[in-house]
Chains A and B, each alone.
Chain A
């Protein structure tokens, strides 16, 4: 990375990062979805009543474990998790970018946003 970092360059890098993140997430979700249909599940499930699923779809460790065992639901959920991680990575990238610009004010601003996001995601861990 060059020493000369400016807002335009930073935005371009972040834009591309977001694109890659979304692409990876969408591909994972799609793979899980195809697997789900191949397993012979129809789209017909009752979603009228709200019944939270098991811990393997609601916690970080559970989702990863389920996806590694190639369970279709776990794989889809892993893709969604990747998607949720994408904006977090974007903010982390902004922290680095503003630091390279020697912009102390916006390095701190980005760090605050990152801390808030971390606080929320720890809840799901």
Chain B
């Protein structure tokens, strides 16, 4: 059961660039009655595996941008440390409710689609100075893209890091918003770069999780291996997948989990 859930979570996470955590944490706490602190510990470990395991495949496709990722990781890692400290001080009911709210946001984001998020051919001055713009393959040709609104994207990345550390998720949803919507980076570049960043962000809170006993190997072992297997399969499918369909499917799953999570948090079942 844990294996199956973890496999599915990893598969969906890789396809959408959002990480497996958003599915695995609710599944462990709601369906299997695992304490949310163990669940987010196991999830955090599994998102490191997902991110790192799929990275090689993405690099081959040439979508991810290492400079954008590294620069924004300054914000996400500092945020992640803050989030992990918060997680050690907050009660389980509150964690469940916060988790649910974050899931609703992720679902809403997916439903809305990519209407406004047009790519930008030009960059603003700061992005140029940081040498963030790059190119990616479209129909076999390299397409140049610009990067804009760096300060706003950077700030949102700090928030993404905090959420990641607080809830043990990759918080890829927020990372993709920051890059795709705010910095106007192409969607596939955003999701793959986000996937790259997730592992580093999660590693920043892992030390704190470990020392506080959030990471129990008996929970983390099946979750990590299951999510990893799912993610590797997901990364293979991604290149041929239609982004729009993916988002709709994912939004539906996430919304259902969100409602369940909040209800359980309020009634004290989690």
| Residues on A facing B (Cβ under 8 Å) | 7-8, 10-12, 14-16, 18-19, 21-22, 25-26, 29-30, 32-33, 36, 43, 45, 47-53, 57-59, 73, 76-77, 80-81, 83-88, 90-91, 94, 105-106, 109-110, 112-113, 116-117, 119-124
Main secondary structure of the interface of B (DSSP, over half): helix
Please give the distance in Å from B90's CB to the nearest CB on chain A.
Answer: 12
Is B73 on the interface with A (CB-CB < 8 A)? yes
12 A-B pairs (CB sep. < 8 Å): A11-B64, A11-B66, A15-B57, A15-B58, A18-B52, A18-B53, A57-B213, A76-B218, A86-B48, A88-B203, A121-B207, A124-B208
CB neighbours of B205 from chain A (8 A): 120
Q: Of residues B71, B205, B214, which shows the largest number of chain A Cβ atoms within 10 Å of its Cβ?
A: B71
B176 at interface (Cβ–Cβ under 8 A)? no
The interface-forming segment of B74-82, B119-127, B256-264 is B74-82
Assess whether B102 is interfacial by the CB under 8 Å rule. Answer: no
Interface size class of B (residues with CB under 8 A): 35 or more
Chain B residues whose C-beta falls within 8 Å of the C-beta of A112 in the assembled complex: 74
Measured between beta carbons, the chain A residues less than 8 angstroms from B211 are 58-59, 123-124
Q: How many whole Å from A93's CB to the nearest CB in chain B? A: 11
A87 to B66 alpha-carbon distance, docked (Å): 13
Question: Do the beta carbons of B92 and A50 come within 8 Å of each other?
Answer: yes
A119 and B81 CA atoms in complex are apart in Å by 9
Q: Complex formed: what's the CA distance from A12 to B67 in Å?
A: 14
B70 & A106 in contact (Cβ 8 Å cutoff): yes
* A59: chain B residues within 8 A (beta carbon): 211
**CB within 8 Å of A: which residues of B?**
2, 33-35, 37-38, 45, 48-49, 51-53, 55-60, 62, 64, 66-67, 70-71, 73-74, 77-78, 80-81, 84, 92, 130-131, 199-200, 202-208, 210-222, 224-225, 228
Q: Closest chain B residue to A86 by CB distance?
A: B52
CA distance A125 to B212 in the complex (A): 12
How far, in angstroms, from A118 to B146 measured CA to CA in the complex?
33
List, in ascending order, chain A residues with CB within 8 A of B92's CB. Answer: 50
Contact of B56 among A18, A73, A105, A117 (CB under 8 A): A18
